[in-house]
């Protein structure tokens, strides 16, 4: 009985069926990889979102006066697609701006071949109206998810209403501000629509 069943099974196995099975498996694999690629392209994990609780923000939150705005970046990534910016959050009273920078991990390997080290050395600053450069107060970095790494920056002393536009400039290694940056992303324009940013439970927990 078992031999008959096994023989029938073998009789049904043909080269055509084998090729069909292999072809279907390849298609499913490619579709799965593309779906994952699209998901990671548009997905920012929890650690890459929300606020970074500075002493200034904690003090304002304790006083019950903390409010913020956010907006969709005017440009979300640079021309080469190496760097992305996400979820700017601005606190008008505290003049504090928080922003997330994301880059593809393959960039490190590319720069290593050009003589870079094992760590991506980034100098990130705001370039306002082509005249003023603002450096971050602090940052937390090398969060990783999928094929991307994330760095988060806090800029203080930023009076957003004074600027027509803001660029995020990225240099590698020791920066020479008299030369063009490796990447420059125009993420804010004065005409950009903004909306109120609502503190999440994670934000509130960090501010306590």
pLDDT interval class at 32 (50, 70, 90):
very low
> What is the Cα–Cα distance from 67 to 196, expressed in whole angstroms?
8
Residue 50 CB-half CA count within 13 A: 16
* Mean pLDDT (whole number) for 186-194: 94
pLDDT interval class at 36 (50, 70, 90):
very low
In whole angstroms, what separates CA 145 from the centre of its chain? 10
Above 80 in pLDDT, residue 110? no
> What is the Cα–Cα distance from 155 to 136, expressed in whole angstroms?
4
CB 97 within 8 A of CB 90: yes
> What is the Cα–Cα distance from 26 to 87, expressed in whole angstroms?
37
pLDDT at 112: 66
pLDDT at 38: 47
Length of the chain: 208
Residue 47 DSSP symbol: G
pLDDT at 79: 83
Token readout for 11 is 């009789």
* Mean pLDDT (whole number) for 39-57: 78
> What is the Cα–Cα distance from 208 to 60, expressed in whole angstroms?
11
Above 70 in pLDDT, residue 94? yes
* Mean pLDDT (whole number) for 141-149: 78
Token readout for 87 is 């979820």
């Amino acid at each position: 009985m078992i031999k008959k069943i096994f023989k029938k099974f073998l009789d049904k196995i043909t080269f055509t069926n084998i090729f069909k099975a292999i072809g279907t498996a390849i298609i499913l694999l490619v579709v799965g990889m593309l779906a994952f690629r699209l998901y990671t392209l548009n997905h920012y994990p929890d650690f890459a979102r929300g606020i970074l609780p500075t002493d200034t923000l904690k003090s304002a939150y304790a006083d019950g006066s903390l409010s913020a705005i956010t907006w969709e970046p005017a440009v979300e990534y640079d021309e080469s697609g190496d760097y992305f910016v996400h979820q700017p959050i601005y606190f008008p009273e505290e003049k504090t701006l928080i922003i997330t920078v994301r880059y593809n991990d393959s960039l490190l390997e590319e720069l290593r071949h050009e003589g870079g080290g094992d760590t991506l050395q980034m100098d990130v600053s705001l370039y306002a109206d082509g005249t003023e450069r603002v450096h971050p107060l602090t940052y937390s970095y090398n969060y990783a998810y999928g094929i991307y790494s994330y760095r988060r920056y806090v800029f203080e002393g930023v009076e957003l209403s004074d600027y027509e536009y803001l660029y995020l400039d990225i240099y590698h290694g020791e920066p020479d501000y008299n030369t063009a940056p490796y990447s420059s992303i125009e993420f804010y324009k004065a005409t950009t629509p903004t909306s109120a940013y609502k503190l999440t439970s994670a934000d509130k927990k960090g501010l306590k």
